[in-house]
Amino acid sequence: MTNRVTTTRRDTIARLAAALFVATACATTVLPSIAQAQPMVHIADGDVQGALDGTTSAFLGIPFAAPPVGALRWRPPQPVTPWAGTLDATTYSSPCAQLPALTGTPSVSEDCLYLNVWTRDLAPAKPRPVMIWIHGGSNISGSTRDGVPFPGYDGVHLYDGRILADERNVVVVTINYRLGVFGFFGHSDLAAEDGAYPHAGNQGLLDQRAAMQWVRDNIAQFGGDPSNVTIFGESAGSFDVCAHVASPLSRGLFHRAISESGGCSVGVRSASEASAAAAAISTAVGCDSAADELACLRDVPVAELLDSVASAAEGSSTDLAISVDGGFLPETPRALFDAGNYAKVPYLLGSNSDEGTLFAMGATPITTEEDYQAELFTRYGSDAAAIELLYPASAFGGSYQKAIVRVSGDSSLVCSTYDVAKRVADAKTKTYVYNFARVPPLAFITALDLGAFHGLEIAYVFGTITPPTATDAGLGTKMRAYWTSFAEKGKPKAAKAAGWPAFKSKSYKMLRLNADVSLLKDFRRAQCDLWTSLYESGNY
């Protein structure tokens, strides 16, 4: 049952990647050519020249690690070679190697470990809080230059940090990291290659950590405070933020954390599962019988490795994910949280009301009770009856399809996020929880009945999508104030908006982010209590 349920979760998140996180692989240069003097900084590796974007200085495509190519494929990130002259930092780097999402061109570039910085003031009187964004995409797709996947937003980059930096006077950093077969490849032979890091897998998480180290060493040159760093991310990025909170290797590199839709107390693979997935890929590309298997694998072209995962994914034997590697994660995050062995930094977490709707697009609707019960049993086995009791079709206007969509969203995202919140709050960590419930009046949302779907809050946090109404503009302003005040001082506040209570398991109070921001108590508490008990059973 374990494999069936975890595979269902991975399939769900992978479908998200295809639906929301679309890599805009064609548009590379986004900053205008401006005649006036361009911003220049000197960092440890050399001089960097960015461009003015309004009143904000933007630096795009700065390397934070050596290209992980050739013999460095699957190795922990290595230091950058300093450059002579001045680095032109006005263009996004290539996305990391990945298969195509819903639209766009797939990337076959392994030379992708670059970050971007937005700052309003290179030399402020007081250093500014720093916010490092980790993009989503199931850890198999996406990049810092992801586009907005809605009609009419061609050329708009979803994670453009200009508005956050300019409006809220923080320094925003967005980072790439290795994905899929290049970023979560747990072949057991890798552990013997590096005496300094005798572990295998989680390369993408090590990349993220290397970017945090770059920020620690260089961000002061951009006006940022290396002693006040917040990591934040959505979906897989949310999961990864959670993993950094749990990991002993990332401590001290950040001081606050924000997880938007995704908790890491479930869905982490064992080292043996990661090794088995890597071995299946090696077999698929014909390297399993090579005298030097890793050397053979490093000679396989990028496209062939990507295709090997895609062609074998039906049986899930090549299912790649975060794993307990013995280094970055010495134990599961759940075990680390429950033992109190995690970074005790202020933590803000939340999810959206309708996390499951995006995943159901294009699926054959479930229309009968028999089909609903059969689907629950296929996914959850003997737990199906208990789940149906809490998700009867009668609670969804008689719609079995809406019931299963809610089950999917709650089980994989809503309740996994709140499960982590409960664990850290119970350990006396300062914790704040939200429910994002705003459904903007946009025709495609109404037509597809998406509700407050997965990833919708990103546009409000970054301000990259023009609000359809004054209400949405106001909500975005409040959310950016909450997020950045939390980054600055560890407590979310917004002018003329509801106070945000600390989360406790007993009181179960959180903030509802909607047209009217308000306090919310016991949101889906019974459902999440059930999922927590099922998570703890070890089946999820």
> Hey, which residues are catalytic here?
235, 355, 454
Q: How far is CA 64 from the centre of its chain?
A: 19
Give the C-alpha distances (Å, rounded to integers) separating 398 from 50, 163, 395, 437, 506: 56, 43, 7, 22, 32
CA distance 116 to 93: 9
> What is the distance between the alpha carbons of residues 447 and 302, in angstroms, rounded to a whole number?
39
Residue written as tokens 């296929």?
A: 378
Rg (alpha carbons) of the chain, rounded to whole number: 22
The DSSP bridge pattern shows strands 224-234 and 509-513 to be unpaired
Evaluate whether 433 touches 350 at the Cβ level (below 8 Å).
yes
Q: Please tell me whether residue 333 adopts helix, strand or coil conformation.
A: helix
Q: CA 182 to CA 491: how far, in whole Å?
A: 37
Q: Which two tokens stand for residue 125?
A: 């009187």
Contacts of the segment 385-394: beta carbons below 8 A, 24+ positions apart: 386/530, 387/530, 390/526, 390/527, 390/530, 391/527, 393/369
Count the helix, strand and coil residues of the chain and give each as a percent rounded to the nearest 5.
Answer: 40, 15, 45
- Dist CA 290 CA 276 (whole Å): 17
**Which residues sit opposite 168 in a β-bridge?**
none
Strand 518-521 and strand 86-88: the pairing is unpaired
Show Cβ contacts of residue 471 under 8 Å, excluding neighbours closer than 6 positions.
Answer: 515
Reported as type and span, the H/E element at residue 338 is helix 333-338
